[in-house]
Structure 1
Amino acid sequence: MVAHPRMYTDSDPWLSEIRDIALSLPEAAEVEAWGRPTFRAKKMFGIYNGSLSDRLSLEFRPELSESEALRQDPRIFVPPYTGAYGWLALDLLVETPDLQEIAELLEASYRLGALKRMIRALDER
């Protein structure tokens, strides 16, 4: 099996901040997959597409009820591969990312796959 080439550098824009936000969620972990940092808590809830990717972005899984509204935002696009499963991506180069917005997108994505105990721990914070 051939390993995927690394599609980011540790000094990538916004990686440190996104990593801090994602890993602050209960039982969250970072796993490199497809050459990208992915964030998981039982299930994957975020994928960072770094500076060596086609597009510097953050993929997340939105709530179904929010998906259409998010698609109206010019910073949001349907990513290849995961887009077929309802994921969206935030282009990190269109404008300076709002870290509070990123935290909300990641938390909503996290909640879709987290176990009840994880959601309880998140709500108790």
Structure 2
Amino acid sequence: MAHPLMFDDADPLLARVRAIALDLPDAAEKISHGHPAFYTTKVFAYYGGSVKVDGDWEQHEQSILVLADPGDRDALLAEKRCYLPAYLGPAGWVGIDLDDSTDWDEIEELLDASYRRTAGVRRVAALDARRA
């Protein structure tokens, strides 16, 4: 049984995330477990996540999940807008809630860092060459 879609394709925050993520070399989008997932050979970001609070699922529909650099992870999780996502949190992923006050330069940096952790040497070199 397929997962129901858990996002609104017309969501302007998703549009911003999509534009940033799909601008990375060889990045593509697929639907995984009802959420947009951005990947090359491995997923580097998801749009939307959840946490279990007192036995109930709490959805973070307008958020991104990124594979955080280990040195940045604790600082991110100390912020109110960040959370440890269900299932992926123990593997190093962090959820970041998005809203109208989101610092999009920071989101771009977090997506870039997550991409670099998953994309492989050739793709990271292509990204560096493009930004040089």
Decide: shared fold, TM above 0.5: yes
Please give the residue correspondences for 1:100-119 in structure 2 after superposition, counting only pairs within 5 Å. 100-119=105-124
Unaligned runs of 5+ in 1: none
Distance in 1 (alpha carbons) for counterparts of 2:109 and 2:75: 15
Report which of the two has the higher share of strand. Answer: 2
Aligned residues: 121
Alpha-carbon distance between aligned partners in 1 of 2:85 and 2:4, rounded to the nearest angstrom: 19
Partner of 2:75: 69
Give the equivalent residue in structure 1 for 2:19. Answer: 20
Counterparts of 2:101 and 2:9 in 1: how far apart (Å)?
19
Residue identity in the other structure for 1:115: G
**Which SS does the other structure have where 1:121 is aligned?**
helix
* Amino-acid identity (%): 42
The answer for unaligned runs of 5 or more in structure 2 is 50-57
How far does residue 13 in structure 1 lie from its aligned partner after superposition? 3.6
Aligned CA RMSD, in angstroms, stands at: 1.5
In 1, the alpha carbon distance for the partners of 2:97 and 2:8 equals: 17
Distance 2:10 2:48 in 1: 13
CA deviation string 1:60-111 (max 9, x = no partner) = 0101111111112211110111112110000114x62111111100000000
Within-5 A mapping of 1:26-105: 26-49=25-48, 54-55=59-60, 56-93=62-99, 96-105=101-110
Give the Cα separation in 1 of the matches to 2:74 and 2:48: 22
In the alignment, what sits opposite 1:10? 9
Q: Does 1:123 align with 2:122?
A: no
SS at the partner of 2:125? Answer: helix
